[in-house]
Structure 1
Amino acid sequence: MKKFKSEFMIGAATAAHQVEGNNVHSDFWTMEHIPGTMYKEPSLDAVDHYNRYKEDIQLLVDAGCNTYRFSIEWARIEPTKGEFDKHQIEHYREVLEFCHQKNVTPIVTMHHFSSPKWLISEGGWESETTIEYFGNYCKYVTEELGDLIPYICTINEANMGKQIAKIMKKMQAVQKNDSANSTEVQVGLNMDDMKAKMQTYYRALGEAFGIDPRNVHSFLSPKTQNGERIIMKCHEKAREEIKTTNPDIQVGITFSLYDHQALPGGEKFVEQEQYEDFLEYLPYLQNDDFLGVQNYSRKIHGPDGIVSNNENTRLTKMGYEYYPEALGNVLRFVSKHWNKPIIVTENGISTDQDEERVEFIDRALTGVHQCIEEGIDVIGYTHWSLLDNFEWQLGYAQTFGLIAVDRSTQTRYPKESLSFLGSIKNRGLVQIQE
């Protein structure tokens, strides 16, 4: 029987915009509602986690979990530049206090993709001014709530803009060849759709944010090298402000990391991907307390680059290869370059078959346990996601949650996978056969 130590954190994660609902001051709310929107549907009430957080956290507790990762929404805290909303701070204070009442460790993310609308109008994530703005926001939140927050992830998936740029470049190549592969399915983008809507969409973008549409830089926009630098400078500024205000808070950042595997001749591609996804960022992380690792699948590289899935590849609903062992492999790779604590801040699967999720959790956490036995300092695991939620451009069709939600009534339906995850704390792991 494989058991985690009592202090190991096991739980689930959410992101504010995806679950809270009515995040009306955010850039994503704006982009969801403009003419020609690239979003399948608007977020609207989402799953009303803003009002139902106690019910949702209680379900997590009842299952046996002891950790909840969630984000504080910048667009709620600072809906207008320089004006902080005390009512919203009190809301998140209540969320944090409820976690502590239930002996749940909160892991707070300061920025999980969505930004205030005004920030984008000011230049967004390609502007130097964002560094100061983000620092001010993090300072304010820490001054108000820092005594309730043991762990802070400054930015979620700091490398995502780079990954999106790669995906779009590949999509353009695919379009030229009039072929398709699973990568496009994964992110829910369609080049034909995009081309048809582009002119209307970009005109509406510019009008909505009051700037040239070429200067609309949301966090998920493909990044220039300067944009990459700005994100990491935002992280450094946030860490400085948080630590100055409350040095006891453990500060880190999260990265989206694939398990890159090489076939003969593919080694150079793996090295390049690992450098661009993670190693390039290491100089900015030296003063961090922990690292957030997020993994969903693997990529196999041959002598000509990424090897496409075939008809025999087991896929998730998102089009990723079903490969829970990717997580352990990524942790081993990271540990070669990082000797401080690691938290698995996201790992999961979109599927309508919950037995697949149970199997995925068991196999993924078996890999985590093996890494710990090998001496890798993994201190926690938060599954994505606590709730079926709003998956950005894909809307509500994808089902990553441990809890299903009937959005017509907002009724919660915990899945077997939730109790399975929670029981691991007491029961330990029993490897499910593939």
Structure 2
Amino acid sequence: MKKFSNDFMIGAATAAHQVEGNNVNSDFWVMENVPGSMYKEPSLDAADHYRKYKEDIQLLVDAGCNTYRFSIEWARIEPIKGKFDKNEIEHYREVLEFCHHHNVTPIVTLHHFSSPKWLISEGGWESESTIEYFINYCHFVVSELGDLIPYICTINEANMGKQIAKIMKRMTSVNESDQAKKPDNADVQVGLNVNMKTKMEKYYRALGEAFGMDPRYIHTFLAPRTENGEKIIMKCHEQARRVINELNPTIKVGITFSLYDHQALPGGEESIKKEQYEDFLCYLPYIKEDDFIGVQNYSRKIHGPDGVVKPVETSRLTKMGYEYYPEALGNVLEFVSKHWHKPIIVTENGVSTDNDEERVEFIERALTGVHRCIENGIPIIGYTYWSLLDNFEWQLGYAQTFGLIAVDRSTQKRYPKQSLSFLGNINMI
């Protein structure tokens, strides 16, 4: 494999709720712990990264990586509306300082799926008031920590509401007996178990009691959105970018999108055009003033005349159930570059597998695609593998293993995998 330039950012990513543990003031904590929860298990201590971040970042450094993407948890910073926790901001200051002391470039995400419980009770991601709340949170974080943050992703996978809506629509259109024989796992990338019909009523009743509101109006970030909800997400981004630029214009600001490699069978071209517009192209007006874009990709989708089709029986599948196809990343980067001419960071790309040799192969094949794109003039400036640690994969719990580092959750002992060394030494191959 050809080497990357010395200034290329290479490392791994995490999200606060998935690794830190005990995020008790968040909406996800509520959803995991209510009676009849749709979650396989609660997050609890997660990977205890809140206390063990130095050990984890040191393992990243020792492997040869130079970049760490992580999120600051809004529910920790503002556990009660309007009340900011200085102790928590100091925690993230220490994380950032540790990165800098070890020559690790931090890429900070301000919102990675989880929100404060109070925000959801105030109307969540369908309420105009969320724009103001998000800006207040961003203003506080950047005022306190901006000098330590070179890159900010305002919102992780801003298009996820649409993708979840598509999953739900496909789920309801599939005959339940067929679904029982072979679930449609093409969309499992988002980490959701959508086989929830039998438990839904009890679950939402419990959520309504927990959030103190009619369950019909519970709008978490990972809920299907209205068009107005989509606009609220992007207004949050635009206003956050404005505030960040005013407070510290040296910070590079972007947003991330979940993107598939769309490939057509005969007659599938129009289906592809529709999904590419909905998942990416419609957002371009909102991000034209951004400094970079975060691309997140895990697999491809095959389209026929009637839309997305399942992988063929002989397809190689990941532990998550979607197609093992590392070449998807390079193809997505080429697509994005036709519409976006500023820097690109691969903010997530990875594979869940119990066979680390498969992970090494995945990384090598994916980065071969990144190399090809750079050689073709596409301004890709970084790659952060998902994820640094085996972690809490939302509704799927702890069974999925994306990490470069295994975690024994009974002891919280770390076991670095060969894939971590492979990634860190990629420029020496």
Short-chain TM bin: over 0.9
Listed one character per residue, the Cα deviations across residues 42-100 of structure 1 (whole Å, up to 9, x for unaligned) are 00000100000000000000000000000000000000000000000000000000000
Length-normalised TM-score, structure 2: 0.97
Partner of 2:169: 169
How many angstroms apart in 2 are the aligned matches of 1:413 and 1:269?
Answer: 43
Partner of 2:159: 159
How many angstroms apart in 1 are the aligned matches of 2:384 and 2:16?
Answer: 15
2:168·2:194 contact (CA, 8 Å) conserved in 1?
Answer: no
Amino acid corresponding to residue 425 of structure 2 in structure 1: S
Amino acid corresponding to residue 193 of structure 2 in structure 1: L
Cα drift, residue 200 of structure 1: 1.2
After TM superposition, the structure 1 = structure 2 runs for residues 21-420 of structure 1, keeping only pairs within 5 Å, are 21-175=21-175, 178-179=178-179, 180-183=182-185, 186=188, 187-191=191-195, 194-420=196-422
Cα drift, residue 188 of structure 1: 4.5
How many angstroms apart in 1 are the aligned matches of 2:68 and 2:218?
Answer: 33
Cα drift, residue 178 of structure 1: 4.1
Listed one character per residue, the Cα deviations across residues 129-172 of structure 1 (whole Å, up to 9, x for unaligned) are 00000011001000000000000000000000110000000000
**SS of the residue aligned with 1:398?**
coil
Partner of 1:431: none
How many angstroms apart in 2 are the aligned matches of 1:308 and 1:68?
Answer: 34
2:353·2:400 contact (CA, 8 Å) conserved in 1?
Answer: yes
Listed one character per residue, the Cα deviations across residues 102-131 of structure 1 (whole Å, up to 9, x for unaligned) are 000000000000000000000000000000
How many angstroms apart in 1 are the aligned matches of 2:213 and 2:365?
Answer: 48
Listed one character per residue, the Cα deviations across residues 372-401 of structure 1 (whole Å, up to 9, x for unaligned) are 000000000000000000000000000000
Amino acid corresponding to residue 189 of structure 1 in structure 2: N
Amino acid corresponding to residue 63 of structure 1 in structure 2: A
Cα drift, residue 31 of structure 1: 0.7
Shift of the 185–365 alpha-carbon distance from structure 1 to 2, 3 Å rule, reads closer
Which of 421, 424, 434 in structure 1 is aligned with 2:423? 421
1:64·1:419 contact (CA, 8 Å) conserved in 2?
Answer: yes
Q: Which runs of 5+ in 2 are unaligned?
A: none
Deviates more, 1:249-258 or 1:263-272: 263-272
Amino acid corresponding to residue 175 of structure 2 in structure 1: Q
1:171·1:184 contact (CA, 8 Å) conserved in 2?
Answer: no
Deviates more, 1:172-181 or 1:120-129: 172-181
1:343·1:378 contact (CA, 8 Å) conserved in 2?
Answer: yes
Listed one character per residue, the Cα deviations across residues 351-373 of structure 1 (whole Å, up to 9, x for unaligned) are 00000000000000010011000
Percent sequence identity over aligned pairs: 78
Cα drift, residue 190 of structure 1: 4.5
How many angstroms apart in 1 are the aligned matches of 2:4 and 2:311?
Answer: 34
Cα drift, residue 196 of structure 1: 2.0
CA RMSD of aligned residues (A): 1.1
Amino acid corresponding to residue 267 of structure 2 in structure 1: G
Q: For this pair of structures, how many residues does the alignment match?
A: 425
Q: Which runs of 5+ in 1 are unaligned?
A: 429-434
Listed one character per residue, the Cα deviations across residues 191-224 of structure 1 (whole Å, up to 9, x for unaligned) are 3xx2221221111111100111001000000111
Cα drift, residue 184 of structure 1: 7.0
Length-normalised TM-score, structure 1: 0.96
Cα drift, residue 182 of structure 1: 2.9
1:182·1:309 contact (CA, 8 Å) conserved in 2?
Answer: no
How many angstroms apart in 2 are the aligned matches of 1:154 and 1:164?
Answer: 20
How many angstroms apart in 2 are the aligned matches of 1:395 and 1:142?
Answer: 32
Amino acid corresponding to residue 131 of structure 1 in structure 2: I
2:153·2:253 contact (CA, 8 Å) conserved in 1?
Answer: yes
How many angstroms apart in 1 are the aligned matches of 2:124 and 2:275?
Answer: 26
